[in-house]
Structure 1
Amino acid sequence: MAHSQYDQFLQEATTADDHSDSPLDRDRLYGLYTSWCFLRQEAPRPESTFWAAMKKKHIHPGRNGLRMTGPAATDYILASCPGLV
């Protein structure tokens, strides 16, 4: 069974952490997705399309139990905080 781009994103750039006090909010999750797409040299889909796909996967902003992981997390953090470099 082929995995969608969103399945691959979730597998490669997120990790489940149901005990997290700060799950990924709307901006951070979509930002992580755009960083993941950038690293894969793919154009990100529009935010509305992204959230429609996340809704089908029962992933909602702010209460999703997800945390960032992998190279996309590093790219997102460095892009969000340019003073760190």
Structure 2
Amino acid sequence: MAHSQFDLFLQDATYFDQTSDSTLERDRFYGLYMSWCFINQHLPGTETTFWAAMKDRLPGSRKGLRMKGAAAADYIVSSYPELV
């Protein structure tokens, strides 16, 4: 079964921490997606398309959603260049 770009993004770049009450903020979540697209050489969908896809895949809240992998590292370094 083929997985959509959004399914692959969620699998590669996120995980749920069931013990956490924190939430991956909206801007950071979309930024993570943009980093994932850049690293994997995917043409990103529009922000509207992204949020529509996430609404279907993450019903309710993003409570406990965390970043992981290469996209997380890229996003952090891109967002905070003083770290390098």
TM-score, normalised with respect to structure 2: 0.90
Distance 1:23 1:37 in 2: 22
Question: Partner residue of 2:54?
Answer: 54
Question: Partner residue of 1:45?
Answer: 45
> Structure 1, residues 36-84: CA drift from partner, whole Å, max 9, x if none?
0000112211111000000011345xx3121000000000000000100
Which AA in structure 2 matches 1:82? P
Question: Partner residue of 1:33?
Answer: 33
Distance 2:55 2:74 in 1: 25
Distance 1:38 1:59 in 2: 26
Question: Partner residue of 2:78?
Answer: 79
Secondary structure of the corresponding residue to residue 67 of structure 1: strand
Secondary structure of the corresponding residue to residue 56 of structure 1: helix
Where in structure 1 do 4 or more consecutive aligned residues deviate above 2 Å?
none
CA RMSD of aligned residues (A): 1.3
